């Protein structure tokens, strides 16, 4: 009796079949690329209700309207943008041949070709978006893909796998499911590109594993996105928009503000505005159907452990709204604001990824920039203020994956601009033409003219007596 094939064996088999199909097909024209993207769009339209219901169950409460907005509509925006622009992105770019061949009939161009099969490892906090948004640009570039949904959102993974099996050709878009061992197997396979969304620690493991096959990577890793409230900012506006960002997905987003720097003399006024703003969104948290729960007990323990560590250090904690006695069956929690913790506190060092944030008072903006630059490069940076010179100073003296000014997280929704990290927050990007280029091989093509003057010009062996002098004469400043 033969044993059932393991998920890892199924993955290797599917990848081999995709690669064979890729080679057999050859060029993928614009019409076929659009057709593939449209199939994914149609899948989302047909399956959106069971998908959002699954996300609600996986989180233990995630408003279905929010899942539609964040994951379904967010993915559709990427897919439609890629569908509607891929033909212009595909066009070869004419390049100038070097002298003297530019005068001798030579031509040059860069063509953009698909790489082959791309792995996309998604994460639980946006279990559709982190798969299907990069998929839009993978397909626009003419590739095939294998999706690995997060096992932390198992119901969503199962519904997505069923939808793909019903509506998509697995040799174009396949799905493999399973736990960390399957994700590890994905990173160990000889894909032509790999996209991973998750923590920096796991991203390092993925990168090490992918290096064995020299697989190019797009890593979206998050970080402690700093938020600067300048003295020129409108405090009420800044507080409301930061509160709205922290309310988004229960704080469980890679571009969520972690560290908020506030002028020391405005700390109490800002905190009062923040309390009022958060209360206007969530008058109560526990039992509130509008609040996204922390995804599971393990993550809740981790987030509460960060706050408890600060409490043990004697740090001031504000709860927005007031903390009620915890219900073990309800993982919805108020926003915990940790005020001016020492650098040794864990919440100052680890990405929060939940309903908590840090307020750090400052005296001079350059001290804020020094603190930001002493930390790993973040995925996002936010600046609230109306001083153009200071705004430009902040932009020129920091590095982050992206920036939103006078709001938070908005840059990540841009489809016509790249989204990605730098340093510890990742590498590579998707969205827009840059996303198309990320998953394409830029191939230089040089076409020589009929006439080749090298021999009569003495540029080929045997070299004449004037060859060295002629080369020396070209060495100019």
Side-chain-side CA neighbours of 143 within 13 Å: the count stands at: 31
- Spatial distance between the Cα atoms of 194 and 146, rounded to a whole number of angstroms: 10
- Spatial distance between the Cα atoms of 333 and 357, rounded to a whole number of angstroms: 13
- Spatial distance between the Cα atoms of 288 and 110, rounded to a whole number of angstroms: 55
Residues 36/40/42/45 CA torsion (nearest 10 deg)? -170
* Sign for the pseudo-dihedral over CA of 316, 322, 326, 330: negative
* Active centre residues (catalytic): 220, 254
Check whether the bond before 321 is cis (ω within 30° of 0): yes
Q: Describe the strand order of the beta sheet including 402-405 as a list of residue ranges.
A: 316-320, 335-339, 356-362, 259-263, 226-229, 380-384, 402-405
Q: Which of 348, 417, 406, 345 is nearest to 376 (CA)?
A: 348
- Spatial distance between the Cα atoms of 320 and 331, rounded to a whole number of angstroms: 15
DSSP 30-96: HHHHHHHHHHHHHHHHHHHHHHHHHHHHHHT---HHHHIIIIIIHHHHHHHHHHHHHHHHHSPEEEP
Q: Which residues pair with 359 in a beta bridge?
A: 260, 339
Number of H helices, E strands in the chain: 15, 18
- Spatial distance between the Cα atoms of 275 and 240, rounded to a whole number of angstroms: 9
């Amino acid at each position: 009796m033969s044993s059932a094939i393991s998920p890892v064996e199924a993955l290797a088999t599917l990848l081999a079949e995709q690669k064979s199909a890729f080679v057999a097909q050859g060029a993928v024209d614009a019409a076929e690329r659009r057709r593939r993207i449209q199939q994914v769009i149609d899948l989302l339209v047909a399956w959106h209700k069971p998908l959002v219901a699954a996300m609600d169950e996986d989180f233990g409460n995630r408003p279905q309207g929010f899942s539609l907005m964040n994951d379904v509509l967010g993915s559709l925006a990427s897919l439609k943008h890629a569908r509607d622009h891929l033909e212009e992105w595909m066009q070869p770019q004419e390049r100038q041949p070097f002298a003297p061949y530019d005068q001798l009939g030579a031509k040059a161009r860069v063509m953009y070709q698909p790489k082959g099969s791309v792995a996309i490892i998604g994460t639980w906090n946006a279990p559709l978006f982190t798969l299907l948004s990069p998929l839009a640009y993978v397909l626009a570039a003419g590739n095939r893909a294998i999706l690995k949904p997060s096992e932390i959102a198992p119901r969503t993974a199962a519904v997505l796998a069923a939808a793909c099996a019903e509506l998509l050709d697995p040799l174009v878009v396949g799905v493999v499911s399973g736990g960390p061992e399957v994700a590890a197997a994905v990173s160990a396979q000889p894909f032509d590109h790999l996209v991973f969304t998750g923590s920096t620690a796991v991203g390092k493991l993925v990168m090490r594993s992918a290096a064995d096959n020299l697989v190019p990577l797009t890593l979206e890793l998050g970080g402690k996105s700093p938020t600067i409230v300048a003295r020129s900012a409108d405090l009420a506006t800044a507080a409301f928009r930061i509160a709205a960002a922290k309310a988004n997905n229960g704080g469980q987003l890679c571009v969520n503000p972690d560290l908020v720097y506030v002028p020391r003399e405005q700390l109490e006024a800002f905190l009062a505005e923040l309390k009022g703003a958060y209360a206007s969104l969530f008058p109560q948290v526990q039992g509130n159907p509008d609040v996204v729960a922390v995804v599971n007990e393990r993550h809740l323990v981790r987030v509460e452990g960060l706050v408890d560590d600060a409490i043990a250090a004697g740090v001031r904690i504000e709860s927005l709204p007031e903390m009620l006695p915890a219900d073990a069956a309800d993982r919805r929690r108020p926003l915990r604001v940790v005020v001016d913790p020492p650098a040794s506190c864990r919440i100052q060092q680890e990405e929060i990824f939940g309903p908590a944030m840090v307020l750090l008072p400052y005296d001079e903006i350059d001290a804020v920039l020094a603190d930001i630059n002493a930390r790993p490069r973040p995925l996002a940076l936010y600046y609230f203020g109306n001083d153009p010179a200071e705004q430009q100073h902040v932009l020129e003296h920091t590095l982050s994956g992206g920036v939103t000014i006078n709001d938070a997280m908005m840059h990540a929704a841009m489809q016509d601009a790249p989204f990605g990290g730098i340093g510890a927050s990742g590498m590579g990007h998707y969205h827009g033409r840059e996303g198309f280029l990320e998953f394409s091989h830029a191939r230089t093509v040089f076409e020589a003219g009929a006439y080749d003057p090298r021999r009569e010009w003495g540029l080929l062996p045997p070299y004449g007596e004037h060859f060295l002098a002629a080369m020396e004469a070209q060495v100019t400043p």
